Amino acid sequence: MRRTTTRLSDGRELIYYDADPPTGDAPPARRVPRPDPRPAPPPVATTTALRTDRLAGETVAYAAHRQDRTHLPPAEHCPLCPATGGRSEEIPDPDYQVAVFENRFPSFGGGHGRCELVCFTADHDRSFADLEPARVALVLDAWTDRTAALSRLPGVRQVYCFENRGVEIGVTLHHPHGQIYAYPYLPPRTARTLAALARHRAEAGENLPDALLAEELADGRRIVAATDHWVAHVPYAARWPYEVQLRPRRRVPDLTALDEGERAEFPELYLRLLRGFDRLFGDNAPPTPYIAAWHQAPVGDPAPGEPEVAREEFALRLEVLTVRRGPGKLKHLAGSESGAGAFVSDVLPEAAAERLREVVSR
């Protein structure tokens, strides 16, 4: 992997990731990034504020400036496409493999963490599932590199790499891309996970994720796919109609700890999963909307009241879920889910796993 860093006209960082060597046995080529031809725009007046709900014990971020962010532009005005035909948006080069840059409309920043966009390909009309394994490996390298860099920023508590796909999820740009949030606080779900890890270690004297994985492998009914280094399964208490957790058999805290064997096996398996998700509701169904997100161990110092758990207790996992529960039907977060935080699912995890095994193995 080759990393080339430059700056956009307003000072935001832009990083290109290229395979090394670029093709076959060709010698590596040095990318010379084109300067951003746009005049420096007036800075976006970010208004990020963090508040804590003391009853729920959860932090809420407020980013009113995001009301003005780009919303579903036509392809000819896509800000994530490369600069061609005299036009220039966020990426000045005429082509790229993987590009990462600071979000112009961040959910938080300016000393409160950082938000980045990850463009998986220059091709506007592709999806992640259309990528070749070599490109997926490069994306994994980019995720890993950014995890390492963002984890070193002062005040960052967790690095969260994710992709939203589909208007049903709420995407505002169709170009295949994901995001990375360097949270300046511990997200609620991660805080609950840490508490469960500490509780189980104290009560049972063992690591909870390892125990759960052993239970899934012994049961077998919710296993979707497995390789020498990875296991994909539907959780025993899945909240979404179709939800998969993909984790290494060997417990590691984050992407930077993956070894060569784990990294080599990941692209093919992940592509099988995503392509299977697209076949869930029929070969001619619209692309399946999904969220794919890496859950990584927290970094930095815990705040008062947070459980103190060694990073090695945390198990890296990738979650893939869809809000579609059937052909033409969505799982809406209605009164019980949104109001009480109590999920009611329409699909049993064992039935979901059976269907996922069928479509993933094709």
User: Which residue in 264, 252, 295, 282 sits closest to 355, CA to CA?
Assistant: 282
Give yes or no for a contact between 313 and 207, defined as CB atoms under 8 angstroms apart.
yes
C-alpha triplet 178, 160, 48: angle, nearest 5°: 90
With a cut of 80, say whether residue 285 has pLDDT above it.
Answer: yes
Say whether 181 sits in a helix, a strand or coil: strand
Task: Decide the pairing of beta strands 230-233 and 242-248.
Answer: antiparallel
pLDDT value for 86: 75
pLDDT recorded at residue 6: 97
Q: pLDDT digit string (tens) for 10-67?
A: 999 999 999 987 655 545 567 899 999 988 877 666 678 899 999 999 999 999 888 8
Q: At what angle do helices 133-151 and 260-278 cross, to 10 degrees?
A: 120
Q: Give the domains, in start order, of the chain with CATH numbers.
A: 2-38+50-183 (3.30.428.10), 188-360 (3.30.428.10)
pLDDT of res. 67: 87
**Going by C-beta distance under 8 Å and a sequence separation of 6 or more, which residues neighbour residue 130?**
none
What confidence tens digit (pLDDT) does each residue in 61-91 have?
999 888 888 888 999 899 999 998 777 789 9
Residue 304 has pLDDT above 90, yes or no: no
Count of alpha carbons within 13 Å of 224, Cβ hemisphere only? 30
Burial of 122 (0-12, 13-18, 19+ CB in 10 A): buried
Instruction: Please check the confidence at residue 335 and state whether its pLDDT lies above 70.
Output: yes
Alpha carbons 61 and 112: distance in angstroms, whole number: 10
Contact criterion met (CB below 8 Å) for 177 and 163 = yes
The whole-angstrom distance between residue 201's C-alpha and the CA centroid of its chain comes to 28
**Which tokens hold the place of 89?**
């948006």
The pLDDT value recorded for residue 172 is 92
The single-letter code of the amino acid at 295 is: H
Among 332, 166, 170, 323, which residue's Cα sits nearest to residue 242?
323
Dig out the tokens for 236 from the structure.
């025993």
What residue spans of the chain are helical by DSSP H?
133-151, 188-204, 208-219, 260-278, 340, 349-360
**In a 3-state reduction of DSSP, which class is residue 242?**
strand
Catalytic residue, from 112, 177, 233, 295: name it. 177
Determine contact, residues 191/297, Cβ cutoff 8 Å: no
Q: Would you state the structure tokens that stand for residue 253, as one six-digit string?
A: 């805290």
Mind listing the pLDDT tens digit for each residue in 182-192?
999 999 999 99
Neighbours of 297 (CB within 10 A): 22
**More confidently predicted of 47 and 341:** 341
The three-state secondary structure class of 62 is strand
Instruction: Centre a 10 Å sphere on the Cβ of residue 319 and count the other Cβ atoms it contains.
Output: 19
Cβ neighbours of residue 343 closer than 8 Å, sequence gap 6 or more? 239, 240, 336, 337
**Tens of pLDDT, residues 208-263:** 999 999 999 999 999 999 999 999 999 999 999 999 999 999 999 999 999 999 99
pTM over 0.75: yes
- Cα torsion 101, 102, 104, 107 to 10°: value is 130
The pLDDT mean for the chain works out to 93
Q: Which two tokens stand for residue 228?
A: 């020498």
Q: What count of Cα atoms within 13 Å lies in the side-chain half-sphere of residue 293?
A: 16
* 82, 36 contact by CB (below 8 A): no
Q: Is 174 a catalytic residue?
A: no
Tens of pLDDT, residue by residue over 117-152, are 999 999 999 999 999 999 999 999 999 999 999 999
**Max intra-chain CA distance, the chain:** 64
